[in-house]
Amino acid sequence: MPHPRAVLPLVLITLAACTDTTVKVYNTAPTVSITSPEDGSIYQPGTLVEVYGLTRDSQQDPSTLLVTLSSSLDGELGTITPDSEGITYTALSTLSAGLHALTMTAFDDAGESGQATVSVEMSYGGQVVGAPEVILIGPAEGQTYAGDEVVTVVATATDDEQSWDTLVASVVSSRDGLIWTGNPATSGAISADLPVMTEGVHALTLTIEDSDGNIDQATVSVEILPDGRPTVEILSPTSGSKTLTTATTLLEGVVLDDVSDPDSMTCTWASNLMGTLASGSPDSSGYCGAGISFTEGTHVITLLATDEEGNEGSATVNLIVTDPLNTDDDFDGMTENGGDCDDADATVYYGAAEACDAKDNDCDGQINESFFDTYDAGSSPNNSLAAAYSLGDFASGALWKSGKVTLSGLTFHTSTDEDWFWFEAEDEWYANLSLDVVVSGVPSGASYTVELYATSSSRGSPTLKDSASGSGVLKAEFEGATLSGDEDYWGVRVYASTWTAGACSGTYSIDISASQSI
């Protein structure tokens, strides 16, 4: 017979099933959403990541829910208490580098839960305003080195907010850890000889950091070879040396091997900018040499040695090559390729102000053109009898007033400048022709010469009739004779017997008087 207490629950259950008419309430899980950050956001490591969420529950106040936050990389990140509206907030400052799945989970009093997840990446992949920039020039990707060979890292580092030599640089090896620290040069150049590294493939990461903690990185893989590979040493040029595009640079190196004779190997010179430069076999001492003219730029020069078994060894140096025509030798702000026609004189360059001297200051092919007088201008200045400025016929009166013409504001802008004038003064066979040429305003300390010529109608066959030299006032004259009748065309020449820089700014005048008497 069953125990009475064992029967009682069955009776109670039966009665309850028959008499209970209430409706039971079923519990539902909380809902969760992450409103910030957006899925796929990227942050620099160390940056503060602010996480906002929204929780809801149909059976209880949101502020009574238990909310947790976790990372797929860093694990549990702690609990968060929602406010009365269900809003959650937390700030994360220690997320490790990498891709995180951030999961927010809400639990109600009944143990039901809901969750939401966003992806956040902590990396240096994004460009940061004000961050430095590094460009890795050498070594080349996949370059090999003998076990005791020096690996040289060549790079440039820049920053738009601080001096480049105040940036902090470091090189980390994936095998050997931190192996070098230092600073760029003031030009931003980095040339670092690394210590001997362990055998194998190394991922070398060059990091540049500014004073704000912003960084930029560049990575290259190199391989440190075991013994038995050729050893290579570049003797010339040394790393960081400079040369010109107009020079022939001698490349010299030595390649050796534990097994192969030197002259059974091949050595190849190459540049990252010009490709293969020369190839051949070393001599019996392992010497490899070549003379090369380089293009402008920073060349990473590699000497590659290959032994009989196909094993390779290499060495590199960087060579800075400059086009002399792109160098501002006189520091006037312009190079020869930029229009400087005399890069040894800082007062001469394209666009310079023309000075009163013996130079073509503005490189336009003319000297002191700012000081030309009226008769120098144009394509045919009056520097010869053939190009002499015509004053016409004194009898016609076009330029002449009462048998006289005055020319003022005349200059000598260079020591070779001359002023020529030509005119007609018909010497009738029955008349006496008188000519007076007076030059005035000759600067003190200078010496001018005036010459009076009889010429042909074609401005040829000049015959000197009179001349005068000196300073102050000069006069050349002619007094014809009755029945001469053959002196109809005349030329006047004035030039500086002595000329000094600065004289081109002084002006002088010419008065020519012509008359005939019977």
CA distance 349 to 340: 4
Q: Domain 369-517 has what CATH class?
A: mainly beta
Sequence-distant (≥ 6) Cβ neighbours of residue 385 within 8 angstroms = 420, 422, 453, 455, 459, 460, 462, 491, 493
CA distance 368 to 412: 9
DSSP class of residue 441?
E
Q: What is the pLDDT of residue 12?
A: 32
Q: Tokens in use for 62?
A: 């949101």
Q: What is the pLDDT of residue 260?
A: 79
Q: What is the pLDDT of residue 19?
A: 43
Delimit the domains of the chain by residue range: 31-122, 128-225, 369-517
- Which H or E run includes 32? strand 31-36
Q: Domain 128-225 has what CATH class?
A: mainly beta
Task: With CA atoms as reference, report the closest residue to 432 among 395, 393, 484.
Answer: 484
Q: Tokens in use for 67?
A: 């909310």
Within 13 Å, how many C-alpha atoms sit on residue 302's CB side?
A: 25
The CATH homologous superfamily to which domain 31-122 belongs is Immunoglobulins (2.60.40.10)
Q: What is the pLDDT of residue 242?
A: 93
Task: With CA atoms as reference, report the closest residue to 481 among 437, 436, 429.
Answer: 429
Residue with tokens 């590094």, as numbered in its chain: 134
Mean pLDDT of residues grouped by 10 in the chain (518 residues)? 36 37 70 91 81 91 92 92 91 86 93 92 62 90 84 91 91 93 91 90 94 91 82 94 94 88 91 95 93 94 91 92 86 85 87 84 83 73 90 79 89 87 74 87 86 92 94 90 69 89 79 83
- Which H or E run includes 232? strand 231-236
31-122 and 369-517 agree in CATH topology: no
Q: What is the dihedral of CA 266, 272, 276, 277, to 10 degrees?
A: -90
Spell out the SS3 assignment of 350-389: CCCCCCCCCCCCCCCCCCCHHHCCCCCCCCCCCCCCCCCE
Sequence-distant (≥ 6) Cβ neighbours of residue 291 within 8 angstroms = 248, 249, 250, 251
Spell out the SS3 assignment of 140-171: CCCEEECCCCCEEEEEEEECCCCCHHHCEEEE
Q: What is the pLDDT of residue 518?
A: 61
Q: What is the pLDDT of residue 378?
A: 60
pTM: 0.41
Q: What is the pLDDT of residue 8?
A: 32
